[in-house]
Amino acid sequence: MTQYNSQLTTESTQRTDIDRQWWKEAVTYQIYPRSFNDSDGDGVGDIPGITEKVDYLDDLGVDVVWLCPVYESPNADNGYDISDYRAIMDEFGTMADWEELLAELHARDIRLIMDLVVNHTSKQHEWFQQSRRREGEFEDYYHWVDGTPDEPPNNWESIFGGPAWTYDEERGQWYLHLFDPGQPDLNWRNPDVREAITDMVTWWLEKGIDGFRLDAIDHLSKSDGYPSGDPDAPIVGIEHFSHGPHLREYLSELAAAFEGYDTLTVGEMGGADIDQVDDYTGEDSLDTIFQFEHMGVDTGPDGPWDPEQFGEWELSELKKLISQQQNEIDWPTLFFGNHDQPRPVSRFGEEGCHAESATLIATLLLTLQGTPYIYQGEEIGMTNNEFDGLAEIDDPMTVGVVEDLIADGAVNSYEEVRDLVNYQSRDHARTPMQWNESENANFTDEDPWFDVNDNYDEINVEALRSDTDSIWYHYQDLIELRHEEDALVYGDYELLLPDHDQFYAYKRTLDDERFLIVLNWSGESATFDADIQATDSEKVISNYSDSPTIPSGETFRPYEAVVYRC
Ligand code: GLC
């Protein structure tokens, strides 16, 4: 299926008029360690397991690994609840293992960015333990509020369901947690907290890492006085704990720690609008932001967990959102999946056209302007799983939200939200990586911590790498093409046929270099009738072997995706 005409690519001339940054030219690969590769047979992925796969990553051609949290953690939220920022979780290995991974990645010119989770810690963190005992400087490290045990300080809801406050018997006060009760929010108003975080950031930078992905970073600054929230909003109170009054200031203070290091910083901002992104990036702030508006294309106004409205989306709306990101954000971050999102091929593709859908999404991801992020398993087209009941769910968010829906009477039982869970749960991305067709997809020799998707006998790395027409090779070819072509990295983006309900087509232009990308994002054939004013276009990559050489007036088959030079 993959057709890559390497003769048609040329060496890019070294231009001087481009603001070149390694992280603009890089393709990033995200690893969720628990589910990537288990080296010691305890059923849990680990750091030596990742080190075993560095040649795999090198073959794929990626430049950066984003490693989800590997720090010490009691795993209330799979590592996003950190109990010691300077130690490695036992299940994942040792600091020496981590150092070896870094060395092996660097030996292959692959950089490493770590996950920085500083909106909250674990309840087990010694800061929280000392804070609940009101010890010394730690007394105000968290958001503590007076009140009687039967009445939370206000009506704020946790993003994981239930109230955002938990009463701590030991201290006799309520503490704030925007996520799980095991993830108390740090009090960023306290300069000691900010200084302790900066010290920890510097400690990791000195170990030689290449940057950070900053978790839930838009929540650092809460509104003063903990007012009540809008009771009709999907998450009550979020307007008071997203993009708060001091966020920009805290980010600049944090950014000062990166000065003098050659890093990439990418902040996760679940609630940032497209036009807010540039306010948070630049010289004295973060380099880039994950902006999520395109990921809301298939959800209604009540957000992703509305049992009445999910899974319907319009191509014209997706094009509009991506085009806005392309045109309005200085340097976008490109992604269609991550460890919190369903699998892109299940969400935006069609089951009967699995390989074509997966390669179409890959083509879009790797030919837009911005820094692309591939989430583990996307390169083999891993799909959503089926979960038959809450007992099969690991994700605290899915469990909490479903329990809330039942408690609020929005649904009566799991049965009524089964389809929504099987569409939306974060667990779809967390099933183990499918390496080959042997038991448990060769992720582990023992019982895996989480069930492997049943389709591993067909969808696995070994099978796809033994077929040069596969999705895997399509990713490899697209990454190689992007590395060779400045126009695909830095070129301007121009959308064609904005209202067409089958084609997503656009041009990428850098001076006299121009690419045209034609994606038929539908299960039906369609005729491409845009006047692209080019008669001598060359097909560079396509996901059908005999795609049209000159697109105008030609028919494109279901999910056909072609990159032309013209
Ligand atoms: C971010 C992470 C998510 C985690 C949450 C709390 O959204 O991506 O996995 O649950 O923050 O840390």
Cβ of residue 66 lying under 6 Å from some atom of ligand 1:
no
Q: How confident is the model at residue 11 (pLDDT cuts 50, 70, 90)?
A: very low
| Catalytic residue status for 298 | no
Residue 9 pLDDT = 40
Higher-confidence position of 529 and 5? 529
Lowest-pLDDT choice from 30-39, 121-130, 226-235, 446-455: 226-235
| Torsion, CA 227, CA 233, CA 234, CA 235, rounded to 10 | -10
Cβ of residue 91 lying under 6 Å from some atom of ligand 1:
no
| Residue partners of 244: CB distance under 8 A and separation at least 6 | 219, 220, 221, 222, 223
Residue 306 pLDDT = 93
Cβ of residue 81 lying under 6 Å from some atom of ligand 1:
no
DSSP SS3 for 98: helix
Find the DSSP H helices in 329-392: 344-348, 354-365
Q: Ligand 1 centroid vs 30 CA: distance in angstroms? A: 14
pLDDT average, residue stretch 429-457: 98
| Residue partners of 192: CB distance under 8 A and separation at least 6 | 137, 140, 141
pLDDT average, residue stretch 314-328: 98
Q: How many CB atoms lie within 10 A of CB 133?
A: 12
Contact 234, 303 (CB under 8 A): yes
pLDDT average, residue stretch 61-78: 98
Q: What DSSP assignment string belongs to 106-170?
A: HHTT-EEEEEE--SB--TTSHHHHHHHTT-GGGGGSB-EE---TTS-SS--B-TTSSBSEEEETT
Contact 56, 461 (CB under 8 A): yes
Atom of ligand 1 nearest to the CA of 120: 12
538-542 β-sheet, strand order:
3-4, 538-542, 561-565, 513-520, 503-510, 492-496
Tens of pLDDT, residue by residue over 473-503, are: 999 999 999 999 999 999 999 999 999 999 9
Cβ of residue 394 lying under 6 Å from some atom of ligand 1:
no
What kind and span of H or E run contains 373? strand 371-375
pLDDT average, residue stretch 260-287: 96
pLDDT average, residue stretch 288-295: 98
pLDDT average, residue stretch 94-105: 98
